[in-house]
């Protein structure tokens, strides 16, 4: 049984990943109701700065095998109209506290025979996104972090990768009006939304022992929307 730290376990993608990991020992973190699966859950507000020591205290195992970081909250607005507090929250959720979790688990994950760090990024970390410049900037930072850490820890058993989904069916798309959603789907080559379970299956491959040489990669899963 693997010890898995899953951050953002109550989101659409996080829940789908937890479903795949229900037979493992999952230590989950989220701001909302924990998954229905058996796990050790901690409530946390990632929009505020957290400390490395705070996270270390909550991860009470000697070895961590996997860290999966899924949080991402889109903010739709022109940059000139985006308040600084929103930028701070985006930074805390998607960059600062991600680094905090990595710092907290590194001593434990280096003990694993095949440690895995997987970050759920976004297609917008690689292409421009009008009215989502702050969100896209944070996702771009995640991708650069993945590539840098992969080189930094290439001499260990730890791999670092990201999954960059396109438009995933779930809480984010639920915020769109029927008209906006219809227009969006018409722009997608496959004319469909990605299911959270598809993202989860890709994550499971990255977590497997078969992916030991796969590191520093940004895995696109967007139905041909961007290549």
The string of pLDDT tens digits covering residues 92-137 is 999 999 999 999 999 999 999 999 999 999 988 888 888 889 999 9
7: domain CATH number is 3.40.50.720
- Is pTM beyond 0.85? Reply is yes
Cα 33-94-46 angle, rounded to 5 deg: 40
174: in domain = yes
What pLDDT score does 62 carry?
98
Which listed residue (124, 135, 153, 226) is catalytic? 135
The pLDDT of residue 154 = 97
Our count of domains for the chain comes to 1
Q: Please tell me the predicted confidence (pLDDT) of residue 35.
A: 63
Range of the domain at 30: 3-221
CA distance 196 to 200: 6
- The stretches in the chain having pLDDT less than 70 are 34-35, 38, 174-175
In a domain? residue 55: yes
Spatial contact of 90 and 75, defined as CB atoms under 8 Å apart: yes
Q: Flag whether 102 is in a domain.
A: yes
- pLDDT value of position 174: 64
Question: pLDDT tens across 71-102, in order?
Answer: 988 788 899 999 999 999 999 999 999 999 99
Residue 226 in any domain: the answer is no
Q: Judge whether 73 lies within some domain.
A: yes
Q: Which of 17, 10, 224 is nearest to 118 (CA)?
A: 17
Q: Which residues pair with 4 in a beta bridge?
A: 26, 66
Q: Give a yes or no: residue 227 inside a domain.
A: no
Q: Is the C-alpha dihedral spanning 135, 141, 144, 149 positive or negative?
A: negative
Contact 69, 30 (CB under 8 A): no
Query: Is 43 designated active site?
Result: no
């Amino acid at each position: 049984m693997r010890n898995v730290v899953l951050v953002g376990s109550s989101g659409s993608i996080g829940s789908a990943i937890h479903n795949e990991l229900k037979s493992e020992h999952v230590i989950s973190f989220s701001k909302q109701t924990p998954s229905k699966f058996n796990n050790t859950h901690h409530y946390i507000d990632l929009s505020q700065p957290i400390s490395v020591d705070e996270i270390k205290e909550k991860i009470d195992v000697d070895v961590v095998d996997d860290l999966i970081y899924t949080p991402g909250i889109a903010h739709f607005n022109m940059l000139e109209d985006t308040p600084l507090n929103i930028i701070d929250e985006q930074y805390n959720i998607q960059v600062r506290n991600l680094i905090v979790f990595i710092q907290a688990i590194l001593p434990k994950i280096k003990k694993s025979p095949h440690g895995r760090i997987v970050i759920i990024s976004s297609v917008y970390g690689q292409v421009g996104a009008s009215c989502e410049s702050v969100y896209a900037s944070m996702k771009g930072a995640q991708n650069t972090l993945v590539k840098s850490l992969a080189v930094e820890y290439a001499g260990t058993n730890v791999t670092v990768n990201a999954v960059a989904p396109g438009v995933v069916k779930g809480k984010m798309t639920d915020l769109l009006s029927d008209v906006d959603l219809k227009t969006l789907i018409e722009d997608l080559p496959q004319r469909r939304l990605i299911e959270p379970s598809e993202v989860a299956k890709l994550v499971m491959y990255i977590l497997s022992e078969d992916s030991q040489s796969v590191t520093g990669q940004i895995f696109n899963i967007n139905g041909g929307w961007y290549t």
